[in-house]
């Protein structure tokens, strides 16, 4: 445990929540991807179902952890964080925000009367992607605040909006 605390600059026990949450979310993601692949290859309800799920899940987990550690190394110089555990919190916020904004855009497009199959796919998907953008911006700051990284995400948001020519929206 001391090795983990030292590696991620953890000074208080509550900060262990982020590495543990990161591991759990990565395991769940690897499992869900393996289950999707299982159905894609039509291996469900076969003898190989659990062997495939566990093997693909373990491989997916390994690849994702290697990717995340590589990203931590590359982004540690660019992102102004004091401790390394904050990088895990930031990655979790990005993952949750992206997933939820993508999920919320579907019902919102139907709420405004744009239903897939009734209108052109070009119009439907353009509207849905355009709806994802403002949802993502709001949720990013909200989940950043929830995970204790409000200042990072507020500065990130301001920088992103300025680069997109929407700096006038920032007070």
* Measured distance CA(55)–CA(153) in Å, rounded: 36
Strand partners, 119: 116
Encode pLDDT of 95-106 as tens digits. Answer: 999 999 989 988
| Mean pLDDT confidence for 52-79 | 92
Closest-CA residue to 145 (of 68, 78, 90): 90
Which two three-digit tokens encode residue 62?
């390994």
What pLDDT score was predicted for residue 106?
A: 86
- Contact (Cβ atoms closer than 8 angstroms) between residue 161 and residue 170: yes
Every domain of the chain and the residues it spans: 1-78, 82-171
- Flag whether the pTM goes above 0.95: no
What pLDDT score was predicted for residue 97?
A: 95
| Mean pLDDT confidence for 111-116 | 85
DSSP classification of residue 79? S
Encode pLDDT of 114-153 as tens digits. Answer: 888 888 888 888 888 988 988 999 999 999 999 999 999 9
């Amino acid at each position: 445990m001391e090795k983990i605390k030292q590696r991620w600059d953890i000074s208080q026990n509550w900060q262990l929540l982020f590495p543990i949450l990161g591991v759990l979310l990565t395991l769940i993601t690897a499992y869900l991807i393996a289950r999707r692949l299982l159905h894609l290859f039509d291996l469900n309800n076969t003898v190989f179902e659990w062997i495939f799920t566990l093997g693909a899940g373990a491989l997916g987990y390994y690849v994702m952890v290697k990717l995340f550690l590589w990203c931590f190394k590359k982004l540690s110089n660019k992102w102004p964080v004091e401790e390394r555990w904050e990088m895990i919190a930031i990655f979790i916020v990005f993952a949750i925000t992206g997933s939820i904004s993508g999920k919320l855009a579907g019902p919102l497009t139907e709420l405004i009367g744009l239903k897939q199959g009734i209108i052109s796919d070009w119009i439907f998907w353009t509207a849905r992607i355009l709806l994802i953008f403002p949802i993502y911006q709001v949720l990013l700051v909200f989940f950043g605040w929830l995970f204790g990284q409000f200042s990072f995400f507020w500065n990130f948001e301001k920088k992103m909006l300025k680069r997109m020519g929407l700096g006038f929206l920032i007070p």
